[in-house]
Amino acid sequence: MSNNINPSQRIIDDQTAAQLKARFDSEMLRSVELLMFKGVGNEEYSKWTEQLLAELSALSDKISHEIYDVTLEPSLIEEYAISRTPTILIDPKVGYKIRYTGAPAGYEAWAFVETLILVSRDDSGLTERVREILKEAKNYGKEAHVMIFVTPTCPYCPHQVLLANKFAIELRGIVEADCVEAYENPELANTFGVSAVPHNVITIREDGDEVPKDISVGVQPDEKYAMDLIKALRE
């Protein structure tokens, strides 16, 4: 896929399209629905994202997408907690909380595709050790919001994003994974002091507020990050 944001050109070339179609046909087990929201700034990135979803949907009957302009349907802002666009939600109607705040461009396209396949299988793909660590999350009655700030040119970011997405698959409804494109969302990046990526923030939702519990920079080992998440929930 191209790393450049240019909505006037095809994003997925023929060779990549053939490879993706083969993977979707052989690895996806059920249909996955993508909801994309636009209308609150970043119009160029929204156009690019809309085209990307259209091209992916054309490659498999197991991928569908809907596009919503929140200026025309403002009730969706509260319903889906949309504060920035473009925003993509992956299969929210079956309970997954996997969000892309910004276009999944550049290196991030890889993690996005891998996430679609895992969601279609309802399987996080985590090791048994990591699954065992995460079981404790169900004991606390809290929800975690895991934000990974990224940039399209960072080759390490997709690995951390995919790990967060795997946590959201394993702990459906308990963990929300949010891949935040820092360049498209500078105010949010500044709020959390992002100066290098991947920049990882774990917040815990308590009494309607989000309380930051853990901030780290760089790719985190799977087991360590699972333990960081449990510690944040436990505190």
Output the CA angle 109-52-38, nearest 5 degrees: 105
Long-range interactions of 16-23: CB distance < 8 A, separation 24+: 17/55, 17/59, 20/56, 20/59, 20/113, 21/59, 21/60, 23/113, 23/117
Helix count and strand count (H, E) for the chain: 8, 8
pLDDT category, 206, cuts 50, 70, 90?
Answer: confident
Provide the token pair at 48: 């690019």
> Scanning the structure block, which residue is given the tokens 């990307």?
52
Task: Express each pLDDT in 7-40 by its tens digit.
Answer: 458 899 999 999 999 999 999 999 999 999 999 9
Question: What average pLDDT is seen over the chain?
Answer: 95
Residue 199, helix vs strand vs coil: strand
Are β-strands 175-181 and 63-69 bridged in parallel, bridged antiparallel, or unpaired?
Answer: unpaired
- Report how far residue 111's alpha carbon sits from residue 1's, in angstroms, rounded to the nearest whole number: 13
For 173-207, give one letter per residue: b (16+ CB within 10 A) or e.
ebbbbbbbbbbbbeebbeebebeebbbbbbbbeee
pLDDT at 2 (0 to 100): 44
The per-residue pLDDT for 6 is 52
| Long-range contacts (CB closer than 8 Å, 24 or more residues apart) made by 74-79 | 76/37
**Torsion angle defined by CA atoms of residues 176, 153, 181 and 30, in that order, rounded to the nearest 10 degrees:** -40
For 181-195, write each residue's pLDDT tens digit: 999 999 999 999 999
Q: Residue 32: how many CB atoms within 10 A of its CB?
A: 25
**Domain 14-234 belongs in CATH node 1.10.760.10:** no
- Among 70-79, 183-192, 201-210, the least confident range: 201-210
3-class SS at 100?
Answer: strand
pLDDT (0 to 100) of residue 9: 81
Closest-CA residue to 29 (of 97, 94, 123)? 123
Q: Is the dihedral of CA 186, 188, 193, 195 positive or negative?
A: negative
Q: What is the pTM of this model?
A: 0.95
